[in-house]
Amino acid sequence: MPKEIERKYLVDLKQWEKLGELPGQYYRQGYLVTDPQKTIRVRLTETKGFLTVKGISVGATRAEYEYEIPVNEAKELLDKFSVSELSKIRYNIVFQNKTWEVDEFLGDNKGLFVAEIELSSEDEIFELPDWVDKEVTREEKYYNSNLTVNPYKEWGL
- Is residue 74 classed exposed, middle or buried when 0-12, 13-18 and 19+ CB atoms within 10 A define those classes? buried
CATH number for position 23? 2.40.320.10
In Å, what is the CA distance from 75 to each residue of 29, 35, 89, 101?
Answer: 10, 22, 17, 23
Domain count along the chain: 1
- Give the HSE-up count for residue 69: Cα atoms under 13 Å, Cβ half-sphere: 18
Confidence of residue 34 (pLDDT cuts 50, 70, 90): confident
CA angle 3, 29, 45 (to 5 degrees): 95
Active-site option among 9, 31, 143, 152:
31
What is the mean predicted confidence (pLDDT) over 77-91?
98
| C-alpha–C-alpha distance, residues 96 and 33, integer Å | 36
What range defines the domain where residue 68 resides? 3-154
Which candidate, 61, 65, 66, places its Cα nearest to that of 118?
Answer: 61
> Computed from CA positions of residues 119, 123, 127, 131, in that sequence, does the dihedral angle turn out positive or negative?
positive
What is the mean predicted confidence (pLDDT) over 17-43?
94
pLDDT at 89 over 80: yes
pLDDT tens profile 131-143? 999 999 999 999 9
pLDDT tens profile 1-14? 788 899 999 999 99
pTM more than 0.95: no
The number of beta carbons lying within 10 Å of the beta carbon of residue 123 is 8
Instruction: Judge whether 31 counts as a catalytic residue.
Output: yes
